[in-house]
Structure 1
Amino acid sequence: MVEKVVGLPPFQVLVDTHWRDVARLARALAGPVDGDDVAQRAWEKAFAAYPKLTSARNLRSWLLTITARCATDLHRSRRPQSPLDEAPPVQVDGPDAADWPDPDLWKAVNALPERQRVAVTLKYVGDLDHHGVAAALETTPAASRRLVSDALTALRTRLGVDDD
């Protein structure tokens, strides 16, 4: 028998409170075409897991972690399933830069390695702290900081932005 967590709001309250955050992160990670599907999948997974939660702490971070994992699953499902030594290099498309404000920035974000792209998106689009980013990526906060830092350095270089 699953014990009910004290302070856990009804699921609809969770949806009403955080649907915009989930939708925004899904679109940022999966693009405008697949973002709605990723958000829907995240809500389905969250609904299935909700009765089993053992803590009502940081529900937003929990939802955004599920969303990031759903986006990662989508990208992985598009990769070829042949052995790596036989497979030609494949570019996994992220958001279509033309559909976003500042298309040069999003084109540069799309060019980042997957873990850097997800980390920087979780940090600045999802507004997660490094502990939340680390939880979503199943790594440490220190590794999260490094991924975000490396992503920002690569973006600055690619866009020709000075730190001054």
Structure 2
Amino acid sequence: MEREPFDAVVQRCGPMVLRVCWAVAGPDLAEDAWSETFLAALRAYPELPAGSNVEAWLVTIARNKAIDQLRAQSRRPAPTERLPEPARWEERDTQLDLWDALKRLTPRQREAVALHYLAGLPYAEVARLVGGNPAAARRAGADAIASLRSMLALAKEDESR
């Protein structure tokens, strides 16, 4: 069986990987995590065993690179001057509302959302990646979705006032 060309893998899986990076690391770090994911994958792709689940492999790398980006950001000094607020568009506001809600989830819930709902991995694979069993991963995902619905409904309610 011939291996799919790497550029085809990037085209096919790139959007999914970006969604995972965005959900784990946030909108500001997602693109860097995405780039790091595909750089690491490019180096390792020739050694990937035939028949491997490329999507799960990429999601694992993406999750790790997104976490690395968060760790690196926490080590950077924070700016002391307050920057002016950028112009805000309705779509950007919605993305920020979603990111604010995602940040309030537990790390396990956030990973369950990223891996199952955004990357499309089955709960058995989610459990393997984050630890635990499929039932716990399913519960974390369901709890996360319920929390997100509640938080986003409250945010929408606040906007309409």
TM-score by length of 1: 0.69
Write the mapping of 1:90-105 to structure 2, written as runs, cut at 5 A.
Answer: 99=92, 101=94, 103-105=96-98
Local SS of the residue matching 1:33: coil
Q: Greater helix share, 1 or 2?
A: 2
5+ long unaligned stretches in structure 1: 1-5, 81-97
Pairwise CA distance, 1:40: 0.7
Q: Distance in 2 between matches of 1:55 and 1:131?
A: 21
Residue equivalent to 1:26:
21
Write the mapping of 1:30-41 to structure 2, written as runs, cut at 5 A.
Answer: 30-41=25-36
Local SS of the residue matching 2:49: coil
Residue equivalent to 1:136:
129
Local SS of the residue matching 2:26: helix
Q: Distance in 1 between matches of 2:94 and 2:128?
A: 28
Pairwise CA distance, 1:101: 2.8
Q: Is the 8 A contact 1:11 1:50 kept in 2?
A: yes
Q: Is the 8 A contact 2:127 2:136 kept in 1?
A: yes
Q: Is the 8 A contact 1:25 1:121 kept in 2?
A: yes
Residue equivalent to 2:142:
149
Pairwise CA distance, 1:122: 2.0
Write the mapping of 1:48-87 to structure 2, written as runs, cut at 5 A.
Answer: 48-79=43-74
Q: 1:39 to 1:7 in 2, by over 3 A?
A: same
Q: 1:143 to 1:35 in 2, by over 3 A?
A: same
Runs of 4+ in structure 1 deviating by more than 6 angstroms, as ranges, are: none
C-alpha RMSD of matched pairs (Å): 2.6
Residue equivalent to 2:114:
121
1:43 aligns with 2:25: no
Q: Is the 8 A contact 1:109 1:117 kept in 2?
A: yes
- How many residue pairs match? The answer is 139
Q: Distance in 2 between matches of 1:78 and 1:156?
A: 28
